[in-house]
A and B are shown apart, each in its own frame.
Chain A
Amino acid sequence: MIDFQTDPTRYRHWKLSFDGPIATLTMDVDPAGGLMDGYELKLNSYDLGVDIELADAVQRLRFEHPEVKTVVLKSGKENVFCAGANIRMLGKASHGHKVNFCKFTNETRLSIEDASENSGQTYLAAISGSAAGGGYELAVTADHIMLIDDRRSSVSLPELPLLAVLPGTGGLTRLTDKRRVRRDLADVFCTTEEGVRGKRAVQWRLVDEVVPPSAWEAKVNERALELAARSDRDGTKGIALIQVQRTISDDAINYAHVRVALDRAARVATITILGPSDLPADLRGIHDTGAAFWPLAMARELDDALLHLRSNEPSIGLIVFRSVGDPAQVLGADSLLEQYQTDWLVREIRLLLKRVLKRVDMTARSLITLIDPGSCFAGTLAELVFAADRAVMFAGSAAGDNRGPATLHLSALNFSAFPMGNGLSRLANRFYGEPDSLNTAAALIGETLDAEAAEEHGLITFAYDETDWDDEVRLILEERASFSPDALTGLEANLRFVGPETMETRIFGRLTAWQNWIFQRPNAVGETGSLKRYGSGVRPDFDPERV
């Protein structure tokens, strides 16, 4: 089982150190610390295990260190910043593992950019040695890239000439969309195995500055302080991200606020979110409650559950979201998040929820949300209704059920707090062709919507009453399970994201899709393909036919 939980006492590959507003995140990969057997993580190359630690470090820096305003990303090894994803690992990994690995690393890279953009915690990449492939892709997530000018250190994206695959962790996309490298120069860069160093790297906008070794340490520190001075981050005392508690049994994973039930025969995982029961009264209370504050605790648990399902339960094809609780309490949590949104911690919680919900969007399983009596799809939790491929709602009450009918509630957060990768709120994404519906929905904030109202306003897919509910739900799930998993993944990935492209959607949509195609092709993974032949010294044999 791949475990996505870790903490700094268990890191094997990263070191965190702190100096006032500056934290240094040092990559020093233990070659013997691979997640699986059969490869050595030489030259600061990474596998999923290395990235799990990175994701944890990035998360902790945000929550546990409000005083940190700049994070310096550097290497603990001489002559190499990072050699990128470990090639032997990629050569041995199953297609599914490769895809999940790339998706997770991409999500982690975006979380770094999210910290720079939205948390006042700016990343600075200090590249000494070579930053190749995924190593440069990692550096490019930083807002400011410094390259030591020792006439040896270089940046490169050698994937195509060296491995016959793409710089697929956002590399290609960030070159043009973030660094604004001219497309023909990007073409030269991506086909030059040895990369670019020194002044040319600055001219081509691959890095922001080059610095001679004699001035290196001082200059890095100076820049870090400059970036820190721009920050609006004002917290002083962080909260501890205590370990997420869970129990895993054969057919269930249980957290405090999230329950996962697995029906492997039906290939369905049901994720039930339990709403909050006692919420703090004010900002001080939120800080005192820390990691136990419901929105934060629930978000971390849901995040872990999604990652677990993605990596460890590949044949689960459907995720059914349910919820149990009092909608008024969920809305209460939302109003705390809205009222104190300028506080650094509340901001972090909102941003984390945003990222976890994006993780839902990016999960390649069919998502069905069931809104039934006793559920609490309100505000933040209603995002799971809008994230789903289909949402169905129980109309009226069941005989003998005294809980009252199922309801749906919107809060202000549904409109502003949780943009998807395409920059739209899930409601704006949903009503892309119906601007009036979006306006109408905004007027429904705070209202209690029953199934009829929800259906009328287009907030759910279908409403079924007691007579039809069981059968209809069963049919949806069975039908879904009968379709081709590949075709469904393609269908869902297309329909979930409407409208405008962003760097993020281009990374997940265009770059990743092509990369995953290449990962299936004999030129990469065939017996004489590049990944199989890599390191043997024997050149791959390519099928010359362009497809």
Chain B
Amino acid sequence: MPEASQIDYNGLIPNNVGLAEDLRVRKALETWHPGYIDWWKSMGPEGFQNSPVYLRTAVGVGSEGWAKFGFVRMPEYRWGILLAPQVEGRTIPFGAHKGEPAWQEVPGEYRAMLRRLLVIQGDTEPASVEQQRHLGATAPSLYDMRNLFQVNVEEGRHLWAMVYLLQKYFGRDGREEAGELLRRRSGDQDSPRMLGAFNEQTPDWLSFFMFTFFTDRDGKMQLAALAQSGFDPLSRTCRFMLTEEAHHMFVGETGVARVIQRTAEAMKAAGIDDPYDIERVRALGVIDLPTIQKKANLHFSLTLDLFGNEISTNAANAFNAGLKGRYREDKLTDDHQLTSSVYPVLRLRDGTIVNEDVPALSALNMRLRDDYVEDAATGVGRWNRVLERAGMAFRMILPHVAFNRRIGEFSAIHTDTDGNILSSEAWHARRESMLPSTDDNLFIASLMRTSRQPGSYAGWIAPPRQGIDNMPGDFEYVRISD
């Protein structure tokens, strides 16, 4: 690594924000950068740091710039600061300031609120890298290993994106928060990451795929809502981040689909029709479908907690202030102010789950969660097409939103995956039929043996249909021996 003071800011840090000329931010980044590299080396992917990996680097926001492929050692990855191009004459799209010119500087009255939004979003980015740091050792193929690292470096870049905004627009507090983002640790008792799901473990590759499918999708929803922001630099940042987030969900969706596909194929070959004949299925060295469903139940429910309380003053304030919009706000055709409309929210009333109309402004978390569920359901539908094509009757589902919740209306009750309320005894009796048991996890762990021959795949997962960057099937995505 070159010394921080000698960093060539336009070369090493691809950016379209004029970093080389921005002395104040440069100074802040110079202070922050060594800490980031230390963090990456100690908390980023374990091992493989010196192996060239075939990674995509974004060097610009134009069509040629955003996807440059090539081999790079991860600590030398060029984490860039890239904002979607500024739209001339953009106005604040929603809330009390709707129609006013979008802010290019932070409005003083919303500084604290905005900073909080950035810090919460920023905290999730390094968290998932930390959660996934042990997975390289058990990668089912070099293709998957490369995808893991691609996701990791991009989450690192997302951290950069948030840190840039903090350092550019939030003064001393912003610099302090940027430092704190490197000091918190996923799962650490003394300084955990801010949100629950980002302190859970990602112990195996099925968890990784589920995480990128479900939890990165929450990231997508949050970014999509922030991409609508009246604070233009945030909007532009998030719009660009969304292009990367799409790839993370691709990794998750296709990852799970390939696991399902492999299981279906193995069952067929062995003549097993009953997906619940778990022992026989597992004897084939593949993950039985009910266990895959249980993993989905777990990750879906943990992720729903990230949306916070169904009724939220903070969300209302952020919307009204013009800082955080709804999913695809620009495609919605209402007044974009929501001061007089209502939105139906599932609530717990006298021990039953009912639908209740509440003021739309206070129901924004609920609304974003509804959009999320719909988006996730589309992906689940694609998993089911794999089952359909394989001639299996089994179908993956999304559990009821009240299932296994720790935040919000339903944190006070237990339900089954259909949303029927369960007594505490019934919950404990049935828990392991709905969520992964220790046995299930041990079984999955027993399959986690790496496969590092170019073009070869562990027995529990099918190869992808296509290589990255259209590379051939036996392409060596990670040069481990180098």
Q: Which residue of A lies closest to B350 (CB)?
A: A32
Which segment of B41-49, B189-197, B219-227, B236-244 sits at the interface?
Answer: B189-197
Are the CB atoms of A150 and B192 closer together than 8 Å?
yes
The 8 Å CB contact of A151, one of B184, B316, B359, is: B184
Q: How far is the CA of A534 from the CA of B316 in the complex (A)?
A: 10
Are the CB atoms of B189 and A214 closer together than 8 Å?
yes
Q: Classify chain A: how many residues form its interface, as a range.
A: 10 to 19
Give every chain A residue within 8 A of B320 (Cβ-Cβ).
536-539
Instruction: Kindly state whether residue A433 has any CB partner on chain B within 8 Å.
Output: no
Known: A151-B180, A194-B112, A539-B321. A214 touches B190 (CB 8 A): yes
Which residues of chain A from 190 to 214 have a CB within 8 Å of any chain B CB?
192-194, 212-214
Are the CB atoms of A538 and B189 closer together than 8 Å?
no
Are the CB atoms of B313 and A150 closer together than 8 Å?
no
How far in angstroms is the closest Cβ of chain B from A546?
A: 18
Are the CB atoms of A537 and B189 closer together than 8 Å?
no
Contact with B along A13-29 (1 / 0, CB 8 A): 00000000000000000
Instruction: Kindly state whether residue B362 has any CB partner on chain A within 8 Å.
Output: yes
Are the CB atoms of B183 and A538 closer together than 8 Å?
no
Instruction: Kindly state whether residue A348 has any CB partner on chain B within 8 Å.
Output: no
Are the CB atoms of B194 and A536 closer together than 8 Å?
no
Known: A150-B192, A151-B180, A151-B184. A534 touches B112 (CB 8 A): no
Instruction: Kindly state whether residue A159 has any CB partner on chain B within 8 Å.
Output: no
Contact with A along B88-122 (1 / 0, CB 8 A): 00000000100000000000000011001000000
How far in angstroms is the closest Cβ of chain A from B59?
A: 34
Are the CB atoms of A535 and B316 closer together than 8 Å?
yes
Give every chain B residue within 8 A of A42 (Cβ-Cβ).
309
Are the CB atoms of B190 and A534 closer together than 8 Å?
no
Contact with B along A120-163 (1 / 0, CB 8 A): 00000000000000000000000000000111100000000100
How far in angstroms is the closest Cβ of chain A from B323?
A: 11
Q: How far is the CA of A42 from the CA of B412 in the complex (A)?
A: 13
Q: Which residue of B lies closest to A198 (CB)?
A: B180
Known: A151-B180, A192-B112, A193-B112. A535 touches B190 (CB 8 A): no
The 8 Å CB contact of A538, one of B96, B191, B315, B364, is: B96
Are the CB atoms of A534 and B189 closer together than 8 Å?
no
Are the CB atoms of A151 and B362 closer together than 8 Å?
no
Known: A536-B316, A536-B362, A538-B361. A194 touches B96 (CB 8 A): no
Are the CB atoms of A213 and B190 closer together than 8 Å?
yes
The 8 Å CB contact of B362, one of A161, A192, A213, A535, is: A535
Give every chain A residue within 8 A of B361 (Cβ-Cβ).
536-538
Q: How far is the CA of A214 from the CA of B313 in the complex (A)?
A: 32
Interface centre among A151, A161, A192, A194 (most CB of B within 10 A): A151
Are the CB atoms of A534 and B313 closer together than 8 Å?
yes
Task: List 13 A–B pairs whose Cβ atoms lie within 8 Å, in order of A's numbering.
Answer: A149-B191, A151-B180, A151-B191, A193-B113, A194-B112, A213-B189, A214-B190, A534-B313, A535-B313, A535-B316, A537-B313, A538-B316, A538-B339
Q: Across chains A and B, which 10 residue pairs bring their CB atoms closest together, nearest first?
A: A537-B316, A537-B361, A212-B190, A537-B320, A535-B313, A151-B191, A213-B189, A214-B189, A213-B190, A193-B112
Having A213-B190, A537-B313, one finds 13 other A-B pairs with CB under 8 Å, namely: A149-B190, A150-B191, A151-B192, A213-B189, A214-B189, A214-B190, A536-B339, A537-B315, A537-B319, A537-B320, A537-B338, A538-B96, A539-B321
